[in-house]
Chain A
Amino acid sequence: MKPYSALYYVKENKGRSLLIAAMFFLTTLLLLGGNFIQSNYYYWEGIIDFTERVVEVEASVNDEEFRDYYATVEKLSNDPDLTVMLHSGYGEPSMDWTCTMGFTMGGYATRFNTAEDMREAFRIVGYHGNFSNLRNGSLVVSKAMANNKGLKIGDIVDEDKGLSGTYTLDGLIDEDTYAIFYVEEYPKEVLTRAHVLSETLSYSELMDRVMNACKGTQCKIQKSWRDDINGQFEPINLIFYLALILLSLVLAVSVNSVISGHYNKRMYEFGVYRAIGRTKRDIRRKVAAEIMITDAVSVVVGIGFVELLTFMLNELYYKPGGRYLPYWSEIGVVGLIISNICVLLPTILLRGRAMCKADVTEF
């Protein structure tokens, strides 16, 4: 290994390099912070997914004798790619859940008119579990939701849990979703809503078919919840990013002061390098490489630490309570990158410039 190389320095100065790495390690905690905030979104993912697999068509109150609605339902039912299930759509109270950050959030509920419809819908959507005991008055939630609410199969769920009726928990879905599902039979005359599903079509294709069928009618279509949910999370994400930039600046100042003290002690070393003809470019490269190596190590170790901590928190604390901390998230990763760049770039630029000015004749 060449003695001038950055790797040589790191190898021969493990203690000092560790100190610098520890400072950069702090930036990786932004990944954990981002994941923690993004965890709120996690609870809605299953719901959004459901609203993209099952399009809801609703009769308008202005639709006289629901002529448009029935005509549309007939049209949709004749499409071989679609499955249509009618239901009442009467008040579908959802249950609040406690999210990872500790506060409660409201959710999504939907109703099926028969147990067979619900089983068929779950099959198409891809939900697994034991749904053999479903009947009129059944409530089905995911295992995660049941854990979150402290429910078990056979429990009666009523006003105490925020529901307007009384239902029995008869089925648990293996997949994580915080939507809740009821079986509640009503006479045909009041089935003014329809679930439209497809085993073969994508969401956009499904939506196109439904929109074509509804064209010129008074029927209402319930679109995916994705945009609504994303819109609600935008301010939270914005606050996170602002806090992140502030935190990164504080980190950048702290890291720079620690690292500048460390490099000031090596001033004469760089003065000698300059004297023996190392170019300013060489010096800048050396400083950048040293800092980037320690940063890379700290980021790898830091990400490993965050993932391990997330695993332990999930297994020991969150999952038993029907909650979840994501292992990665968009804002967590972006947060890590932004904060790392905010700290890394000025450090490299400032230290590189300072070391180029080292002059052995002044010692």
Chain B
Amino acid sequence: MFTIKNLSMIYDMDTDEKMYALKGLDVSLPDRGLIGIIGPSGSGKSTLMYCLSTLKKPTDGSVCYNGTELTTITDAEREQLRRREFGFVFQKHYLVPYMSAFDNVMVAAVNNDAETQEKAKKFLAALGLGDREIGKRPAKLSGGQCQRAAIARAMINDPKVIFADEPTASLDHENAFNVMRILKEYSVDRLVLVVTHDRSILGDADRIIEMWDGEISRDGGTL
């Protein structure tokens, strides 16, 4: 699904000392499965995810998604891709505070029809958010419930890829494993990329890519 060649990302381009977040990465990713990208802070794992998801443009190299070169597509094409084919789960849930859990899911939906609304309710229910919870605003929900609502938001358009950046960082152990279970289920026929520094949550990962100092230090293993 993704073919990455010689991918580099340099921060502080204008200064004499260039800071490489990614140094000439080469990697290919399949179109299904749960893939963990692991590494310490500053290793470039989040930057890699941002480059793959078009949230950031790399300084150099190529990111090919299903035959489309993502580094050269237009802003409009990038937005369409993120809207229809990619889903995002962030470290913090980033739910909109004045919307209910249900509306937070619907805000990402491409369609706002009855069918999609039903689907959103089903997703939320499957994620353990019942009728009472889905009408509540994020402030009235627990951290785990918020993160599960954020996952429902990421899934509402049936994206081909879900990018999850430290999705369990603000959760307790039980909630963290619940979130990972949900992502694992989704990865049966789609690709889920999980960026984390917490090895323990990647027990079910199909593949783990380890990063160190902007480079891939190990690729292919599982825990």
Name the residue of chain B whose CB is nearest to the CB of A265: B97
Residues on A with beta carbons closer than 8 Å to the beta carbon of B103: 3, 8
Assess whether A3 is in contact with B83, with CB atoms less than 8 Å apart: no
Are A277 and B81 in touch, CB under 8 angstroms? yes
A276 touches B90 (CB 8 A): no
- Assess the B96–A279 pair: CB atoms within 8 A: no
Say which size band chain B's interface belongs to. Answer: 20 to 34
Which one of B24-32, B59-67, B106-114, B205-213 is at the A interface? B106-114
Tell me which residues from 312 to 363 in chain A have a Cβ below 8 Å from any Cβ of chain B.
Answer: 359-361, 363
Contacts A3-B107, A361-B46 hold; do A276 and B88 have CB atoms under 8 A apart? yes
Establish whether residues A359 and B55, one from each chain, have CB atoms under 8 Å apart when the complex forms: yes
Shortest C-beta distance, B88 to chain A (Å), equals 5
- Name B76's closest neighbour in chain A (CB-CB): A279
B96: chain A residues within 8 A (beta carbon): 3, 269, 272
Chain B residues lying within 8 Å of A12, measured Cβ to Cβ, are 98-99
Interface residues of A in 4-53 (CB under 8 A from B): 4, 8-9, 12-13
Contact call A4/B107, Cβ cutoff below 8 A: yes
- Which A residues are CB-close (under 8 A) to B94? 268-269, 271-272, 360, 363
Binary interface encoding of chain B residues 64-105 relative to chain A, with 1 for a CB under 8 A from any of its CBs, else 0: 000000000001100111111010101010101111000110
Asked if B80 contacts A277 (CB within 8 A), the reply is yes
A280 at the interface (CB under 8 A from B): yes
The listed residue (B75, B90, B106) touching A360 by CB distance below 8 A is B90
Complex CA distance for A152 and B86, rounded to whole angstroms: 84
**Nearest A-chain residue to B78, judged by Cβ:** A277
Q: Is the interface of A mostly helix, strand, loop or mixed?
A: helix
Which residues of chain B are within 8 angstroms of A272 by Cβ–Cβ distance? 90, 94, 96
Residue of A nearest to B107 (CB): A3
Tell me the complex Cα distance, A146–B200, Å. 93
B75 cross-chain contacts in A, Cβ below 8 A: 279-280
Residues of B contacting A268 in the complex (Cβ-Cβ under 8 angstroms): 94
Separation in Å of the B79 CB from the closest CB of chain A?
5
Q: Is A308 part of the binding interface, using a Cβ–Cβ cutoff of 8 Å? A: no
Q: Does A278 contact B (CB under 8 A)?
A: yes
Chain B residues lying within 8 Å of A153, measured Cβ to Cβ, are none
The smallest C-beta distance from B144 to any residue of chain A, in angstroms, reads 19
- For residue B153, give the distance in angstroms from its CB to the closest CB of chain A: 8
Which residues of B come within 8 Å of A, CB atoms? 46, 50, 55-56, 75-76, 79-84, 86, 88, 90, 92, 94, 96-99, 103-104, 106-108, 112, 153
Q: Which 6 residue pairs across A and B have the least CB separation, nearest first?
A: A277-B83, A277-B82, A3-B103, A12-B98, A3-B107, A276-B108
Question: With A269-B97, A360-B55 given, can you name 5 additional A-B contacts, CB distance below 8 Å?
Answer: A13-B98, A269-B96, A277-B79, A277-B84, A359-B55
**Please, could you name 13 A-B residue pairs with CB atoms under 8 Å apart, sorted by A?**
A2-B106, A3-B103, A3-B107, A4-B107, A8-B103, A9-B98, A12-B98, A275-B88, A277-B84, A277-B86, A278-B79, A360-B90, A361-B56
